[in-house]
Structure formats: structure tokens, C-alpha cells
């Protein structure tokens, strides 16, 4: 019998942890913070929040979570990465910091800080395949955001920018149990992306 409220962790090393917890609970999950390997072992899915990707990469090693998380991703753990989380899930990274590593799993090449500095942050209404449906577009907030430069053949493009100088750039993708967005849905009050991810987690139970 499928659990009605799967346990979904939020990697709580840096970033919008509280906001993701609230969005996951609104989306029907039991949300927990993950800082230790024992906590990682107990979750049905995991969110990698936005923040500073190099800092999160370093802290994953300090907390001895990196290898355990890579193993769980390889074993099929559903993971959603927003902004820095997209960078962490990418197999290939452009413009990364020296010695920066990713967790991998998504067959994509991601360009870090593709849209510029924090002062270049903005919002755009986005249609997301399989998520927005017949409803209104998602209010997507981009803050020092990456974009997907190149996606492999097994990667589903969920969202592209529709306007501006970066029109057509890929900003949301899915591959199997992995979902990633360049933007921050956790800060807008729209829980549809999180609801979609919770449904992905349920399908794996």
C-alpha cells in the first residue's frame, strides 16, 4: 500500500531549507531536515535547495554525506534540485569554481551563474510540462541562476525561458527520478513543483 505521506528530506547544510520544508508539507509530504548519513538513510526522497553550490559541495564533504548521497542517487532515490541543487545534480559543469565537484545523475551540462550576479535576478511566468497543466504559469524567481547548456537524449526538458535575451534556454529538466529547476519555487507560495515532486516520490514507494 502506498504511503499517503512520504518522508522527504531537505538537505539542511545551507540555503532555503525552511521554505522547502513548508512547500513539501503543503504538497503532502512529511518533510524532515537532513544533515547526517543516518537521516539520509531514512528518507523516501530529497530536496537539494538553492544557496551557494561551492559551499554546499564543501559541506557535503565535511559532513561525510557526499559519497552516501551519490550512492543513493545511483540507487534511484528521487531528488529535486533548485538553483544550486540543479548544479549539484549535473553530470557536467561549466564555469564552476576551482576543484568544485557535483553529485551527478542528470545527463546535462549546466552553466553556473549563467544569468549574472544577484543584482541581475528577475521573475518570469513559465509553462512547465507536466506541472502547470491547464493552470496558470509558474511564477519563476531566478537568483544568480544556472541554466542547462546541453541535455542528453534521456533528459526531458520541462521548461524553457520564453522571452528576453536568454529566450529558449532550458531552466527545468527531469530524468527518471531526478527533477531540477534553475529557479526557486519555494519562495513564491506556489507549491505545484513540490507537489509534482512528492508525486514522483510516491511512484517510487
pLDDT averaged per 10 residues in sequence order, the chain, 205 residues: 80 95 97 97 97 93 96 98 97 88 97 71 91 95 93 98 88 98 95 97 94
At 119 the pLDDT is 42
| Annotation marks residue 156 as catalytic | no
For residue 177, give the C-alpha cell: 527520478
Contact 65/101 with Cβ under 8 angstroms?
Answer: no
Catalytic residue, candidates 19, 124, 186, 196: 186
* DSSP-assigned beta bridge partners for residue 72: none
* DSSP-assigned beta bridge partners for residue 174: 156, 179
| Annotation marks residue 83 as catalytic | yes
Just give the CATH number of 7-204: 3.40.50.880
Instruction: Delimit the domains of the chain by residue range.
Output: 7-204
| pTM of the entire predicted model | 0.95
DSSP 3-state assignment of 104? coil
Residue 188: closest CA among 119, 129, 139: 139
Catalytic residue, candidates 19, 20, 184, 196: 184
Beta strands in 83-161 (DSSP E): 90-94, 106-111, 122-126, 138-142, 147-151, 156-160
Cell 551557494 belongs to which residue?
52
CA distances to 4, 95, 134, 142, 146 from 116, in Å: 41, 12, 32, 10, 9
| Annotation marks residue 123 as catalytic | no
- For strands 7-11 and 106-111, give the pairing: unpaired
At 97 the pLDDT is 81
Catalytic residue, candidates 83, 124, 194, 196: 83
Residue 182: closest CA among 156, 158, 146: 146
At 121 the pLDDT is 73
- Label residues 146-172 b or e (16+ Cβ within 10 Å = b): bbbbebeeebeebbbbeeeeeeebbbb
* DSSP-assigned beta bridge partners for residue 93: 110
Amino acid at each position: 500500500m502506498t504511503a499517503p505521506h512520504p518522508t522527504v528530506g531537505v538537505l539542511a547544510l545551507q540555503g532555503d531549507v525552511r521554505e522547502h520544508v513548508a512547500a513539501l508539507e503543503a504538497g503532502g509530504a512529511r518533510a524532515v531536515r537532513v544533515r547526517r548519513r543516518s537521516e539520509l538513510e531514512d528518507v523516501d526522497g530529497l530536496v537539494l535547495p538553492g544557496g551557494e553550490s561551492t559551499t554546499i559541495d564543501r559541506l557535503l564533504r565535511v559532513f561525510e554525506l557526499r559519497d552516501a548521497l551519490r550512492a543513493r542517487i545511483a540507487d534511484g532515490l528521487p531528488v529535486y534540485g533548485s538553483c544550486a541543487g540543479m548544479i549539484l545534480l549535473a553530470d557536467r559543469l561549466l564555469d564552476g569554481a576551482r576543484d568544485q565537484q557535483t553529485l551527478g545523475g542528470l545527463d546535462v551540462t549546466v552553466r553556473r551563474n549563467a544569468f549574472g550576479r544577484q543584482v541581475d535576478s528577475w521573475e518570469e511566468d513559465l509553462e512547465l510540462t507536466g506541472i502547470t497543466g491547464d493552470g496558470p504559469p509558474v511564477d519563476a524567481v531566478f537568483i544568480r541562476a544556472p541554466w542547462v547548456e546541453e541535455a542528453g537524449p534521456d533528459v526531458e526538458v520541462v521548461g524553457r525561458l520564453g522571452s528576453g535575451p536568454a529566450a529558449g534556454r532550458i531552466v527545468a529538466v527531469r530524468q527518471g527520478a531526478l527533477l531540477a529547476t534553475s529557479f526557486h519555487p519555494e519562495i513564491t507560495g506556489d507549491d505545484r513543483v513540490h507537489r509534482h515532486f512528492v508525486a514522483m516520490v510516491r511512484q517510487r514507494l
